[in-house]
Every structure is written in structure tokens, then in C-alpha cells.
């Protein structure tokens, strides 16, 4: 088992990638502190972990509040005696970032309020800062460990209507690089994953919505790789598990000398594209401009 004897704290673990990773990490031998702002979702994840024979505790915390994150780490150590892995996974999309096709509100950038800005920064950036900061004393006491953050493909490329979200995720990448330099002397590795595909519809759903447990692509209907815009053509859609496995690698001893890295996951070559159309894509590129009459 890749995480035998390890203790992992995962924020945002009540649904989506956090829940999937809790189950995967537990199956690899880890004890899990399931941290979520929704106590019922956290309990649901714990029940699933225990059902498969693992060990977990539910911890309610709002990652925007430093004191609550500190208490979550303390509760983890109280329950399991130590901390080996801290994953700052909790995240929200900025207002107006839910596509209108999914029932989202259309919000122009200039109409975002300060409260909108502070909300997305609070969860996506301050939440990572507080989680890492709170984890360091426990990790140092344990002789080192791993800090992981959930970034996004939006930290590398632009998506419509989520400039605030993109800014926070780019900030996560910078924090990961800086912390890898500052914390390496303690034997603490700091990395991030940056999913493109294979994430949960719960990310775009309102708080309290039923936990889906599958990726956007899995719930979209029958999978046709030839229709998918992902360059890599496989006979199945990207899943939450694909992202969770990348996270597992980065927190396990298999990546013992990797630190300061933001790893794009489940992108299938999407981020390698240029803004051009090619016949091979099945599209019809515009006529070439030659300058001749």
C-alpha cells in the first residue's frame, strides 16, 4: 500500500475530488481527516471510507477562517496521533463562473462586487495559505511530510467569466513554488495538481446539492472520443479517480524528490493546443491570408 501508516487531512472532502481521494487514499492505507464546511457531507464521506474498511473522522471547518483550519489540524492529530499529508483541496468558482447552460448567472467582470472577490480569494487562496500554515508544525513534529494544493488548468490558460477564479489558482501555483523553497529544509514537500477535465458537477452546483460522485464527462451521456475536444482519444471519459491518482502519486513516497511542481492532470493534451484550427481536428480552418489579390 502506498500510504500505509500515513495520516492525511483533506479539505473539501465532503464531495467531488475530495471524497474520491479520501476513498482512494484510505484504500492505500491512510487514515483520513475529512474536512468540509458541510458536516453532513463530511459524515457521508467518513461512512463510505469506513464501509470499505478504512478509518476516517469528520471535521467541520470553513477554510476561510484560520482558527477553524488550525482546529481541524489539531482534531486530526488528536484522532490519529500525527499528520503526514495536508491537502488544501477546497475550492469555489467565482460568481458568474457557472455556465448559463448549467443554470448559472451571467455576471460581467465589472459587475462583480468586493464581496464576490473576497469570497473566492478566501476559499481558493487564503484557504490554501491557512491549511499549509496550520499543517507545518504537525508535519515538522513528524519529521516532514507532504502538502498538496488543488490548482486548475485555469491557472495556465483563460476561461470565460472566471478571471477572479483564475487569479486565485495562479496564486496557488506561486505559493507552491515559494513554500517548496521555504519548507524543504524541514523535509516538507509542496506540490499542486491542476485538473482540466474529470472534475465533479458538484463544483458548479449550489451548496447542499446531492453529491454526484462522477465527473462532468461521465454524467454528460454516452462517451464518444471522436466528438470530445480532448486531443487524447480514449474509450472512456476522464474521471475523478484520474485526478485522485495523480494526487496520490504526489503525496506518496513515490514522488519523494518532487517539490514545487504544479502538475496538470487529466488534460489529455488540451493545454498543449494553440489557438488555431487544423483539418486534423475535424474543423474547417479559415482561408489563408497571403496578401495577394
Map grid coordinates 481536428 to a residue. 281
pLDDT of residue 293: 41
DSSP reduced 3-state for 135: helix
DSSP helix/strand/coil, 144 = coil
- DSSP string for residues in 216-284: HHHHSSS--TTTSS-SS--SS---HHHHHHHHHHHHSGGGTT--S-EEEES-TTGGG--S---GGGTS-
Residue 97 pLDDT: 85
| Catalytic residue chosen out of the listed positions 165, 186, 216, 257 | 165
| Locus of grid cell 524528490 | 257
Q: Report the pLDDT value the prediction gives residue 291, as an integer from 0 to 100.
A: 46
Give me the tens of pLDDT residue by residue for the chain, a chain 293 residues long.
999 999 999 999 999 999 999 999 999 999 999 999 999 999 999 999 999 999 999 999 999 999 999 999 999 999 999 999 999 999 999 888 877 656 678 899 999 999 999 999 999 999 999 999 999 999 999 999 999 999 999 999 998 899 999 999 999 999 999 999 999 999 999 999 999 998 887 777 777 788 888 887 888 889 999 888 899 999 999 999 999 999 999 999 999 999 999 999 999 999 998 776 666 666 555 454 444 44
Q: In what order do the strands lie in the sheet with 262-265?
A: 55-60, 31-36, 7-11, 85-88, 145-150, 188-195, 262-265
CB atoms within 10 A of CB 104: 15
List all residues 6 or more positions away from 206 whose beta carbon is below 8 Å from its beta carbon: none
Among the listed residues 40, 183, 38, 18, the one whose alpha carbon sits nearest the alpha carbon of residue 88: 18
Q: Which residue has the cell 483533506?
A: 10
Distance CA 49, CA 31 (A): 9
Distance CA 111, CA 129 (A): 27
- CATH class of segment(s) 7-281: alpha beta
The cell 505559493 sits on which residue?
Answer: 175
pTM of the model: 0.92
Locate 75 and state its grid cell: 482534531
Which residue, 196, 224, 200, is CA-closest to 212?
A: 200
Q: Has 165 been annotated as catalytic? A: yes
User: Which of 66, 58, 44, 54 lies closest to 23 in space, CA to CA?
Assistant: 54
Domain ranges of the chain: 7-281
Amino acid at each position: 500500500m502506498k500510504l500505509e501508516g500515513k495520516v492525511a487531512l483533506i479539505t473539501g472532502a465532503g464531495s467531488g475530488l475530495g471524497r474520491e481521494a479520501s476513498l482512494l487514499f484510505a484504500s492505500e492505507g491512510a487514515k483520513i481527516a475529512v474536512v468540509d464546511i458541510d458536516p453532513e457531507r463530511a459524515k457521508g464521506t467518513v461512512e463510505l471510507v469506513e464501509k470499505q474498511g478504512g478509518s476516517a473522522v469528520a471535521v467541520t471547518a470553513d477554510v476561510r477562517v484560520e482558527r477553524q483550519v488550525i482546529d481541524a489540524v489539531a482534531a486530526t492529530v488528536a484522532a490519529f496521533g500525527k499528520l503526514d499529508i495536508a491537502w488544501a483541496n477546497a475550492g469555489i468558482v467565482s460568481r458568474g463562473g457557472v455556465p448559463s447552460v448549467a443554470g448559472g448567472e451571467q455576471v460581467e467582470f465589472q459587475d462583480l462586487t468586493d464581496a464576490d472577490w473576497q469570497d473566492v480569494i478566501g476559499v481558493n487562496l487564503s484557504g490554501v495559505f491557512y491549511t499549509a500554515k496550520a499543517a507545518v508544525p504537525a508535519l515538522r513534529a513528524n519529521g516532514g511530510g507532504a502538502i498538496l494544493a488543488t490548482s486548475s488548468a485555469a491557472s495556465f490558460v483563460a476561461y470565460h467569466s472566471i478571471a477572479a477564479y483564475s487569479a486565485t489558482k495562479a496564486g496557488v501555483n506561486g505559493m507552491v513554488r515559494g513554500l517548496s523553497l521555504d519548507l524543504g529544509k524541514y523535509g516538507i514537500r509542496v506540490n499542486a495538481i491542476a485538473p482540466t477535465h474529470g472534475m465533479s458537477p458538484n463544483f458548479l452546483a449550489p451548496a447542499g446539492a446531492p453529491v454526484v460522485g462522477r465527473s462532468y464527462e461521465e454524467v454528460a451521456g454516452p462517451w464518444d472520443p471522436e466528438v470530445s475536444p480532448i486531443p487524447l482519444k480514449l474509450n472512456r471519459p476522464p474521471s475523478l479517480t484520474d485526478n485522485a491518482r495523480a494526487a496520490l502519486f504526489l503525496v506518496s513516497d513515490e514522488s519523494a524528490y518532487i517539490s514545487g511542481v504544479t502538475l496538470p492532470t487529466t488534460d489529455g493534451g488540451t493545454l498543449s493546443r494553440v489557438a488555431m484550427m487544423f483539418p486534423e481536428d475535424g474543423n474547417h480552418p479559415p482561408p489563408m491570408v497571403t496578401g495577394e489579390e
